[in-house]
Structure 1
Amino acid sequence: MHWLYLYFPQLQLDRLQALTPALESRATVLYDPQDRKQAVVQSNTKARECGVYSGTPLARAWLLAEDMAAYPWKELEQNQQLRQLATHIYQGFSDIYLDPPDGLWLNLQPMRRVYPNAAAWQKALHVQLHPFAVHVKQGVHVSPAAARLLARFEASHIDEILIEQLPCEHKQIEKLVRFGLHTLEDLKAIPRKEIGRKLGQDIVLLLAQLEGHHRMRLAPYQPPHSFYQRIVLPSEAESWQGLQFSLKRVFRELERFLQGRGKAATKLVIHLYFREQPKQELVVSAPHGCVTTDEFLSLCQLKAEHEVLKAPVVELSVHAKGWKNHEAVMADLWNQHTSTSVPLHQLLNQLQLRMGTERVYAIQTQHYWLPELSWQRRLAGQPIQPSHDREEVIRRPAWLCLHAQRIDIHEWQLGLGPERIRTSWWQTGEESTRDYYQARHLSGRLGWVFYCYRQSCWWLQGWFS
């Protein structure tokens, strides 16, 4: 069994720089607001060039880099980002274990048939991590504990690990150093019984874990059933245009989440957070499902036309709710025919969001001889049931007028007919006799007309084309 450990030394900072590319050219750090000295937790390349490293007090960091950008490090946010990475990597690797806040274990044993060699899984892993633009260090070993040390300290062999780098309490490290031990190799050369007697059983257990003789308790990763992401904006956004860049980043991750599951989201709940004002909720409905980033952005723009921001936005969250199966559109093999029309589900989503769900509907034919009662409204997007009488559908037009229109019969040439229909007073409010004909108008259009004997005039009931 081989374990791959992925160490993300500046995960939260990498994601912040992805949201604000301008920070890459400026010394930027994340500091621990809970620490008394507000020590630096993560620093980018520009900050390290100025001498600012992990553990540097924030006050000293300001002296070393005057034009430095400093943001508070949030453990909860980083754990969330780690799970997002695991969610994406899960598409290519099935056995993942979490080591929050900055590490993941991947069990390569179940994937041997898929990735027969190191080059294969390295290529797959690169494809999974490339969209996130994060720094990552790797370690591979038969023991998960050893793989973790190899990745975190960039060692080529487990015996090269220094005593100070072992995951032990400070008192135990001092005791090992007093014994004259410098590397893990020195420690492994001592008999186990002597180690247990002089240094304690904790060290013996650690060595067993590093050699793979004792299993570690790992936290297995379970892919989430819903998508939720909350991010801190790099700068306050005073308008909807200022939110588009951050929303686009979130929607790209949502798109990858949906594509990996073959699903489409039917509802988005967006929360906007301010410094002093209570949060503002924005609900975006998409009854027919959305998958792509452009679809989500277009719906948000339509919704934002009727919303006013209470104050400058400092954070936002996106929660996708409601799922439906989604089938990817297959492209032409030679790309000879590229459709420029808007997909039906996207058009219906936009119309219903702008006009209201109850105002966008489809027409369903129903088996009834009276034309006024031969159709009914259905919610747009629902499947249309086939007609029971195909010949009747062919004889009657698909486009019926909402109300019959009076016509001049001299502009029409009668064709197939007549079809006599008698109506009763409880159906239309009056008794009448009608003779229906297929007739062609002077313009060339084919219509469905009838003569009403009670009113002694001609009427247009619908159009065939």
Structure 2
Amino acid sequence: MIGIWAALLPRTTSSESCTAIDLPSLAVWALQFSPRVALREEAVLVEVSASARLFGGLGRLRRRIEAEGAEVGVEAIAWAPTGTAALALLRARMPNGFGGPLHKVLDKLPLESITAVAHHAGTLHRLGSRTLGDVRALPRGGLGRRFDKQLLHSLDQAYGVRPEVYEWQQLPETFSVRLEFMHRVEHAPALMFGARRLLFQMSSWLAARHMGVTAFTLRWAHDAMRAKTAGTGGELDVRTAEPTQNVEHLGRLLGEHLAKVELLAPAGDIELLASETIPIQQESKSLLPETIRQGEDTSLVLERVQARLGKERVVRPSLRADHRPEWMQCWQGAELARPRGAPGCHELPLPAWVLPEPLRLAERDHRPIYQGALQLLLGPDRVEGGWWHREPGAGDGGADQLNVQRDYWIAMSRHAGVLWVFQRRLAEDETGWFLHGLYA
């Protein structure tokens, strides 16, 4: 699946300045950015092309994932057009797979970048292959006979030749995450070091479920070497005045409560639970007011949008009584009359997409070629006109007349499908065939 993929490598060991995170917890955190989250070997893959606009564009989303990922325990991130390519770049510690054509980026990677290729690294080395590009240069038929089918399958997926299939992760109905410390914590305020990471994960879970938390619980377990009178651990319940997802607010609130707690014994691990949640009203990022979804008249909504953006920026398409496809439609102010019906000048059905400018086609034996020879199905549909039309701003004497004389055909291409092509008639320059539209 060609798109925008991020491969996230979780930190597996904790230190004084950072905390480890497991794959399922990292997947829950990533689900706030996209519903397409999958676990693949040692990493979490996230496809964000469909959700980038929701977060203000790919650049802003990428910066947010990288910044917040460091907080929750992401050690490295790589970006690429396919999930398998992103995982390969992650292993090679190359963060950007969009720096050039995908095949040129992947060809430089070592064999160990893709698991299915790494399994045969010894044999491939004896064949003189050191990179993925070397493997792709070998005869494909020979690779298929000598190695298992997974090698070619994984290579094709990485290079975007074959579609990828993933089992998408689902959000749990409840939130409960545990964190084990690398050393014993003797004072309650010091629990915030790990609790803040868990708050980030809870905020991600809430955002993905469009919920806000009104009460959560922090539990801690005492070290095994505790005194018998200390008990197994303790817990702290925190309530909020309003449902929220804000990590900073939740962190300050939890810190205030922990400052009043005295641990009866050193703590070895903590657990965070979202005990009470309710749906939260999200701020709409739509240009159109929310009232249009509640049945408000469209004309009233347009008036408000015009007041916000200006009348010159709110336009609607309008059809003209013109035979020429380029001039059949224009954009007019939204306050004008609604578009009239199509001129009805074409006998053949019009295509779903019209190119901004006709594309000149190659010819063979006086027949058009586009991804192979074209078969003319229906036509000709003759269009003539435009002798009255002059370029705006040009003088009457020197303006170029936009007179067209064309014969339109519906043509079939073996690879491109049904096309809309025309042949110019009686033209002194640029005679021949042109592609002007594509049918759905």
TM-score (norm 2): 0.50
Q: Which structure has the larger Rg?
A: 1
Choose between structure 1 and 2: higher helix proportion.
Answer: 1
